[in-house]
């Protein structure tokens, strides 16, 4: 292969956008840049610890993330040459990275992300002073990110299809005679990663509320495990934001409380 031509990769792509940054003052922008840098440094340390844990305790390989940032957004990509047809390692990698780091982003760095996760082909090209991230999976994640009116991460339509196929394959490993219906126990088994939820959508119509069912990242998992409330995570930030932003916090709080009440008690606590 020509070394100047970037390699096409296949895997998981996440696009995160920090809320409430566009109208920041110069001082607030400076602080955000500092916080984003520190957040990614801590995320990398946590990831190394998590990968070591998976390797030593579970003998399970987790692909490394590739990360690019611009303005108030972060793109994280995972691909696995060793497991081209098996998305479990990349789902686990992406899910664990996000679930481990999103509560920290809120609590320690006051960064509140809305995002989307996609699956497919992409290009991640690194040069001395430049990183280029392009491809169908990237465009898909960027297109879905603005849809939800909350703090959290949703699967795109393409990701949902691949994820359901993945769940069906996992179901057939347990029950070779399983039909195309996804067993609720299988959904519950992977609920520490993603859960189906009616997501509040953005709308331009005054006072109108619209919802659509997506698979949502189970980002409250570790906060619930540690007994941390949503208000502790956000330092009651919703009380000081503009009326335009406040519903995003309220909707995220609704999801957090729903997950805490309906999902977390059913999950293994090990």
Q: What is the pLDDT of residue 96?
A: 86
Q: Is the dihedral of CA 22, 201, 102, 78 positive or negative?
A: negative
Q: What is the pLDDT of residue 180?
A: 67
Q: What is the pLDDT of residue 124?
A: 92
Q: What is the pLDDT of residue 84?
A: 58
Give the β-pairing of 113-127 and 130-134: antiparallel
The pLDDT tens digits along the chain (270 residues) read 556 788 899 899 999 999 888 777 899 899 999 999 999 999 999 888 888 888 888 777 788 899 999 999 999 999 877 655 566 778 888 888 999 899 989 999 989 999 999 999 999 988 877 888 999 999 999 999 999 999 999 999 999 998 888 888 888 777 777 676 666 777 888 888 999 999 999 765 555 678 999 999 999 998 998 899 998 888 766 566 677 788 899 999 999 999 999 999 988 765
Q: Using CA atoms, how far apart are residues 252 and 243, in angstroms rounded to an integer? A: 15
Q: What is the pLDDT of residue 147?
A: 94
Using alpha carbons, list the distances in angstroms from residue 33 to 22, 44, 111, 233: 13, 17, 11, 20
Query: Which residue, among 107, 111, 99, 100, has the nearest Cα to 33 in the 3D structure?
Result: 111
Q: Using CA atoms, how far apart are residues 156 and 24, in angstroms rounded to an integer? A: 29
Cβ count within 10 A of residue 82: 8
Encoded tokens for 157 = 């339509």
Q: Using CA atoms, how far apart are residues 104 and 20, in angstroms rounded to an integer? A: 17
**What SS3 class is residue 121?**
strand
State the DSSP code for 181.
Answer: S
Task: Identify the architecture of domain 8-265 in CATH.
Answer: 2-Layer Sandwich (3.30)
Q: What is the pLDDT of residue 216?
A: 96
Q: What is the pLDDT of residue 127?
A: 83
The residues spanned by each domain of the chain are: 8-265
Q: What is the pLDDT of residue 200?
A: 93
Q: Using CA atoms, how far apart are residues 137 and 66, in angstroms rounded to an integer? A: 14
Q: What is the pLDDT of residue 82?
A: 61
């Amino acid at each position: 292969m020509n070394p100047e031509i970037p390699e096409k990769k296949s895997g998981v792509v996440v696009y995160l956008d920090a809320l409430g940054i566009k109208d920041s003052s110069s001082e607030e922008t400076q602080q955000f840049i500092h916080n984003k840098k520190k957040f990614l440094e801590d995320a990398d340390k946590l990831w190394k610890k998590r990968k070591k844990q998976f390797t030593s305790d579970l003998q399970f390989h987790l692909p490394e993330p590739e990360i690019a940032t611009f303005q108030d957004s972060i793109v994280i990509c995972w691909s696995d040459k060793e497991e081209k047809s098996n998305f479990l390692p990349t789902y686990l990698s992406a899910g664990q990275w996000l679930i481990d780091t999103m509560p920290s982003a809120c609590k320690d760095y006051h960064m509140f992300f809305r995002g989307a996760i996609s699956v497919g082909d992409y290009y991640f090209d690194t040069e001395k002073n430049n990183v280029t991230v392009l491809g169908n999976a990237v465009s898909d994640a960027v297109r879905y990110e603005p849809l939800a009116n909350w703090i959290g991460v949703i699967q795109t339509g393409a990701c949902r299809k691949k994820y359901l196929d993945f769940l069906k394959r996992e179901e057939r490993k347990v029950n070779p005679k399983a039909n195309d219906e996804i067993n609720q126990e299988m959904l519950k088994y992977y609920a520490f990663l993603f859960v189906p939820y009616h997501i509040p959508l953005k709308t331009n119509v005054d006072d109108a509320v619209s919802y659509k069912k997506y698979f949502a990242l189970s980002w409250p998992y570790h906060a619930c495990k540690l007994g941390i409330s949503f208000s502790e995570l956000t330092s009651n930030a919703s009380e000081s934001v503009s009326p335009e932003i406040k519903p995003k916090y309220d909707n995220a709080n609704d999801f957090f409380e729903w997950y805490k009440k309906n999902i977390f008690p059913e999950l293994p606590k090990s």
